[in-house]
Structure 1
Amino acid sequence: MRKLFLPIAVIMFAFLFTTISCKKKDPAVNQEELSGEIAFDSTLVKAFFVKYPKLKSYQSDVETLYRKHQYHYVWYDKKGINEFGNVLYNKVNNLEEEGIQVTVPYKNKLDEIYENVEDNQKPEIDTELLNSSLYFFYADKVYHGLDAKKVAATGWYLPRKKESYVNNLDSLLNNPSLINKDEKGVLSQYYRLKDVLEKYRQIEKNGGWKTIAVEPGVKSYKPGDSSKTIAQIRQWLFVTGDIRMDSKSGLYDKTMAAGILKFKQRNGMTVNKVITPEHIKTMNVPLAQRIKTIMVNMERCRWISNDITKSKELIIVNIPAYQLTYLKEGKPALISNVVVGKALNKTVIFSAPMKHIVFSPYWNVPTSILKKEILPGIEKNENYLEEHDMEWHESNVRQRPGPKNSLGLVKFLFPNSNAIYLHDTPSKDLFKSEDRAFSHGCVRVAKAKELANLILKNDKTWTPQKIDEAMHSGEEKWHTLANKIPVYIGYFTAWVDDQGDIHFYDDIYERDEELASLVFKK
């Protein structure tokens, strides 16, 4: 037995020596294995980014990732490159579906790896680090979007979401399907826009929509009218999904009327059955332009955390839609028309917590309005202040509480450096206009009384009767809210509702083109 043991020992030693020697041929692989995972030399990360300089902006994230994982491979399992690696490669190959037009760095190298998967079964350092860099590239473009400085330069001051893409990767590695609806990464509205983008690109593949010709001298079309133009409008409504069938008829019938009502509702117009050349002009916006608008608004969605929709209470104002939505427990409790700042006095895009409601408020006239409007008015008419229910107060002018007050009977304060707030108004007729950019920057609310009632609904000290009395008392009264309500004033020219219908709004501050120049920059 002793004679037999010696040859066996020699053979085993030779086998182990050969195995160790083979491992030493791959400088990326460490001899130590922890929990079945292979570690690599940390210095190879820096060397990788010297070799692949176009990815250097992601070096810090990659280093953070591998420090967390103690420099173990994360993109391989027993079969080779893991499932999420293949999912990610597919996603990067289809970035246009995400509304992104960008050149993928080292695309040829990626193609070589994933088109020859059978040759990439064993952990290889370039493939490993290329995948990690690819992930952070994808997260940067799809989840994060433009950097904060560029976003602020467009006039957008809403808080940027804070997300750890390193931690997010662990979740995706465990469940790759999360990447398809990762609402932790992007506002859920993003995915709705993405679905509509796919629909509109399919319309484009099918030939798009034809330009509608308005007949000379025709000022409007109404139910019962008949013409070639009506047949063209019907076809357009069918292509966009506002009606289900195209009968080819030139008669303006009930089916087409229902489609027109839906079209107007989707485009922020006064909802009636009359079709004017101005409405047809909106229909004639090129399909390519609509696709571009969708992509621009997908970019805006990247900047906001979906966590805001989890707030128990939330007030959102969408400037181009001229609309305020008050959400309670994630559901709309009130939707109101609003008036926003005109082009010269743009309403600022920002967020702040609402802290106070002021009944029968004074209006402290801003210095700019005092110089441009009030003082010239006083020079022309010595009774100007009295006629406008105004008075001097501490070297400034203010308007006394009452039905003539420019702030109406109630205002809602969320302290901010922009001096912007929500308020009532005596000029109720302005809410009937399709274009509602008339203010000096603040937001006038059509349903201000209803908003006050809903906010104070659970406060036993404020009954609807007491709210009404405070609004008409003629004496300013402040109420501090027990629970602060987040107010988000945003700017979306395309928005998809709960039914999946796309709404387009006029770009009243002409911000889309500026943003598009950044988004589509190669």
Structure 2
Amino acid sequence: MVVVRTTSSRVHHRCTSAHANASTTSCYLSARTAAIASQPDQTAIHLQWNAASMRILFVALMLWLAPVLALAEMSDGAGNTLTAALQAPELSCSKVPLDRQRLTPYYSAAAPAPLWINKHGPNARARMLRTVLQNADQEGLSPERYWLAEIEVRWQAPAPDMQACLEMLLTAGFDRYSRDVHSGRVSPHEADPTWMLHPPAFDPVAALQAIGSDDEFSRLLKSLPPEQAGYQRLRSALAQYRHVAGQGGWAELPPGPNLTPGDVHAQVPVLRARLRREGDLPRLALSFGTGYDTPLVEAVQQFQRRHGLQPDGIVGARTRAELNISAAERAAQLRRALERWRWLPRNLGDHYILVNTAGFELAVVEGGKTVLRMRSINGTPDQATPSFTATLQTLIINPYWYVPQRIARDRLWPRAQRNTGYLAERGFRVFDTRKRGWQELDPMRLDWKRINGDDTNVRLRQEPGPKNLMGRLSFVFPNPFEIFVHDTPDRALFERDVRTFSEGCVRIENAMALALHTLRQAPEWNEVRIQEEIDALHHWNLKLPEPIPVFVLYLPNWVDADRQVQFRADVYQRETVLTSYYPAN
């Protein structure tokens, strides 16, 4: 609005608008003209929406629209630059190389429209994606991998070429991050050749094209990481260990003698501070001075259990070595654990069996809770148990053991050649499979020098009984590796910390408990009957009324249902490649 007041002696004027300063002279001349044309008395005249006012309003409107029009022009320019960039022989953004094969599917070949940039700059989806990339370390991933620094530099840049670069960098960041966090940064077969499970399939282009609103895009970003409780617990633990590492971690326990309960030693305060730092010793625990007292012993035992050591409370060489692994390395181990979870199916099911060959443990999970847990024995390092999934279908009572040719050749034939009574003493029988129904051969009369270990016509079978290496119960889930879960007569081996003693199969501590669980829908097969059949050496193949998925996995680090962070040694040396991708830093 323009208000002009005239008097006989002077003219006062005031020009007000959003950009009045831009037309001060014009405003003054208009006011002066109005004053001359007015009546010569002192009556105030308010001129509204006259020609001068409209001119001023028009100028103000143009000044207000100028940035918007400029942004629109920049958006068009960015679109043209984007088209040229996608068609260039080498796709790059200010010397940042980009993968054409990854980017071009996101855009129309004829007229690629920006996904993340509009006339106002980065749109709502770009802002959401930027936040997710900034927090990629919460998933154990590195934000720098997703060109975050390059994105930040160009975030508010007005030039069309910078906008086009920002557009491509955001697309590249979304593509790489979504693949990494959904299905893993590293190919499982590259990192662990014995991992036979395939990561869940994911097409980020199709996922993005299916999005219709910003809310849907937000839900897509949240759905990318695994939602299983095991992954989420690892994610929380990673945040805690990163926080501790960021504050300097913990002090190492210097070399010294074994610390046993009741000792008095200058290293005890260092040990106490170390265990408080990781949470094994509660901060309010009444433990003081240089004496290795009861609260501290209990904290050491808790630490030992979390690291797969004998919980004897003695700080020996192995316990000391685990105590001196840095917080940064522990965080890196959790990042590798998150990667392994990204290789798993998104839904393991409501009821399944999980064998962790790194933790030497079998667990039955139902409704998200562990309903049965027991120790296990796995393959030796040269016959390491692979990672795979199958379905448990059959329970065998008093199993026969049909010895795999590999084991017969490498283990049993050489012993039989040195001692002709070896096989018979252990309940093995020898068969010629060329004859219909298998013709039994007398091991005492065989010419072992003529037996070829690779001869598939000669097979060994161990009869049911207390010496049978399959034990009294065997659980069959068909798989290409001839792996079974079974009982064992070698009970003392379960007391070892590292239990790599089998030929690849999984021996379990409490086969009867697992049998009762798998037969719970067949009440006629109770514990008394099963034991009677075992004692009578009756052989049974029982088809289970409820097939159960089995996951045999190598998970050296995990967080259990009680939120205790568990670390285990890499007994099969399968973390080497992952360590190069997820180092301690």
| TM-score interval, smaller chain | 0.7 to 0.9
Q: 2:310 aligns with which of 244, 264, 270?
A: 270
SS in structure 2 of the partner of residue 26 of structure 1: helix
SS across alignment from 1:228: coil
Q: CA RMSD in A?
A: 3.6
8 A Cα contact 1:144 1:303, kept in partner: yes
C-alpha distance in 2 between matches for 1:93 and 1:474: 64
The match for 1:201 is: 242
Residues 212/124 of structure 1: CA separation in 2 closer, same or farther (3 Å cut): closer
Matches within 5 A, 1:86-485: 86-101=127-142, 103-104=144-145, 107=148, 109-114=150-155, 116=156, 119=158, 126-148=165-187, 150-151=189-190, 154-166=193-205, 168-169=207-208, 170=211, 173-174=214-215, 178=219, 182=223, 185=226, 187-216=228-257, 218=258, 220-222=259-261, 224-245=262-283, 247-308=287-348, 311-393=349-431, 394=433, 395-485=458-548
The CA deviation at 1:432 is 1.3
Deviates more, 1:78-87 or 1:350-359: 78-87
Alpha-carbon shift at residue 302 of structure 1 (Å): 1.7
1:338: Cα distance to partner? 0.1
- 2:243 maps to a residue whose letter is Q
Could you say which residue in structure 2 is the equivalent of 1:36?
none
For 1:312 and 1:105, locate their aligned partners in 2 and report how far apart those are by CA, in whole Å: 35
Q: Residues 360 and 473 of structure 1 are in contact (CA less than 8 Å); yes or no, is this contact kept in structure 2? A: no
Partner of 1:82: 123
Q: Which residue of 1 aligns with 2:564?
A: 501
Per-residue Cα deviation, 1:464-493 (whole angstroms, up to 9, x for no partner): 333333433423321223443221111122
- Within-5 A mapping of 1:503-522: 503-519=566-582
Cα pair 1:41 1:71 within 8 Å, conserved:
yes
Distance 1:132 1:461, change over 3 A: farther
Alpha-carbon distance in structure 2 between the residues aligned to 1:471 and 1:160? 41
Query: Aligned with 2:267: secondary structure?
Result: helix
Calculate percent identity across the aligned residue pairs. 26
C-alpha separation in 2, matches of 1:25 and 1:397: 76
TM-score by length of 1: 0.81
Deviations 1:238-273 (A, max 9, x none): 011111227552222232233123212211223343
The amino acid of 2:242's aligned partner reads: R
User: Which whole-Å CA distance do the structure 2 matches of 1:251 and 1:171 have between them?
Assistant: 66
Instruction: Kindly state the Cα deviation for residue 133 of structure 1 after the two structures are TM-superposed.
Output: 2.3
Q: CA deviation at 1:164?
A: 3.6
Q: State which drifts further: 377-386 or 320-329.
A: 377-386
Match of 2:12 in 1: none
| Greater Cα offset, 355-364 or 100-109 | 100-109
The alpha carbon displacement at 1:188 in A equals 4.3
Distance in structure 1 (CA, Å) of the matches to 2:466 and 2:291: 49
Task: State the SS of the aligned residue for 1:354.
Answer: strand
Task: Tell me the CA shift for residue 500 of structure 1.
Answer: 2.8
- Contact 1:313–1:486 (Cα < 8 Å) also in 2: yes
Residues 154 and 163 in structure 2, CA contact (< 8 A), matched pair in contact too = no
Write the deviation string for residues 189-247 of structure 1: whole angstroms up to 9, x where unpaired: 3333232222222222322211213534x4x411x332222222111110111112275
Contact 1:172 1:179 in 2 (8 A): no
Which is further off, 261-270 or 457-466?
A: 457-466
| 1:427 positional shift | 0.8
Shift of the alpha carbon at 1:502?
Answer: 1.2
Greater relative contact order (Cα < 8 A, sep 6+): 1
Structure 1 pair 149/265, CA: closer, same or farther in 2 (3 Å)? closer
Per-residue CA deviation, residues 2-24 of structure 1 (Å, 9 max, x unaligned), is: xxxxxxxxxxxxxxxxx9xx879
Q: CA deviation at 1:371?
A: 2.4
Alpha-carbon distance in 2 for matches of 1:241, 1:25: 54
Are 1:186 and 1:305, in contact at CA under 8 Å, matched by a contact in 2?
no
In 2, Cα distance between the equivalents of 1:178 and 1:251? 54
2:3 equivalent in structure 1: none
TM-score (norm 2): 0.73
Give the 3 Å change call, closer, same or farther, for CA 162–466 of structure 1 in structure 2. farther
Q: Based on CA coordinates, which of the two structures has the bigger radius of gyration?
A: 2
Inter-partner Cα distance in structure 2 for 1:361 and 1:120? 76
| 2-structure distance, mates of 1:267, 1:24 | 58
Shift in Å, 1:63: 5.0
SS in 1 for 2:393: strand
Which residue type is aligned with residue 334 of structure 2?
A: I
Equivalenced residues, count: 485
Is contact 2:188–2:343 with CA below 8 Å preserved after alignment?
no
Deviation at 1:180, TM superposition (A): 7.8
Cα distance, 1:411 vs structure 2: 1.0
- Provide the C-alpha distance between the structure 1 equivalents of 2:100 and 2:188, rounded to a whole number of angstroms: 18
| Deviation of 1:54 (Å) | 6.1
CA shift at 1:186, angstroms?
5.9
> Contact between 2:85 and 2:91, CA under 8 Å: does it hold in 1?
no
Q: Counterparts of 2:195 and 2:582 in 1: how far apart (Å)?
A: 15
Secondary structure of the corresponding residue to residue 307 of structure 1? coil
C-alpha spacing 1:481/1:296, structure 2 compared with 1 (3 Å): same
Shift of 1:105: 6.2
- Bigger CA drift: 343-352 or 482-491? 482-491
Q: Which runs of 5+ in 2 are unaligned?
A: 1-68, 434-457
Which residue does 1:50 correspond to in 2?
91
